[in-house]
Amino acid sequence: MNRPEFVSAVYLRATGKPTAPTSGRKYNQIIALGDMFTRQWQDEPGQDWTSLYDFFSNGTVTATDTFTLDTDIRKVSQMDGDFVRIVHTDDNVTEYTIVPADRLYENRYQYAVAVQGRNLVFASAFTADSPQFGGTIVVPGYGYSTFPTNDTTQITVDNPDWLVIRTAAEFVRTDITRQNQYPNLIAEAQQLMEKMKENDGGQIDSAYRPNFFVNSEYTGW
């Protein structure tokens, strides 16, 4: 579903009218609400959407223990079996267990890394003599869901119908002549959200790719 299709669907559900505005206050309101609820979906409490999961390149290893997270990474994955990996310049790989910051320096972790704010902090600083020096840091995590800024880009919410109904509900909530539709639309949106979560849970096993290295070569991008 692209942006014009989204606006038309929202306007139809909210007003019953098949012809949606293409500019003006109501159009801008629908676009602004779509953007807001896309971000709300992205940050749904207790939910890490599989469709936003990926392996992100986080720059190269330099002589330090702290690296700023790439701006494309919204959240580092805490899924069991996920590691921060460094792909050496000779294609060897070192895996680092992701641990809470207060456990970073426990001796039982030979290779450990923690997330502190927007930084990755490794248990030991790298030097120019480290085998990892100059290698690529690969981080498992979740990216951002962005509402389309043009008429051709597709909506990234797993089920665009949820975004349509949730936006329509908010659209009518502020319209005194249509406020009575709000409870039914909200109930429908909640049902669609629960179904999305159910479907997402069924995708985790297939999307989880702990063995993404083939012959010690990174193939994640």
The predicted-structure confidence for 204-214, as pLDDT tens digits, reads as follows: 554 444 444 43
Distance CA 64, CA 4 (A): 48
Distance CA 147, CA 54 (A): 19
Distance CA 40, CA 54 (A): 20
Whose CA is closest to 115, among 101, 94, 96? 101
The residue ranking higher by pLDDT, 50 or 216, is 50
pLDDT value for 218: 42
**Residue 116 CA: distances (Å) to CA of 61, 84, 121:** 18, 14, 7
Tokens encoding 95: 């895996």
What value does the mean pLDDT of the chain take?
91
Tokens encoding 152: 């051709």
Whose CA is closest to 126, among 86, 71, 163, 165? 86
pTM: 0.86
pLDDT value for 146: 97
The residue ranking higher by pLDDT, 220 or 156, is 156
pLDDT at 169 exceeding the cut of 70: yes
**Residue 189 CA: distances (Å) to CA of 7, 140, 147, 155, 183:** 17, 30, 18, 17, 10
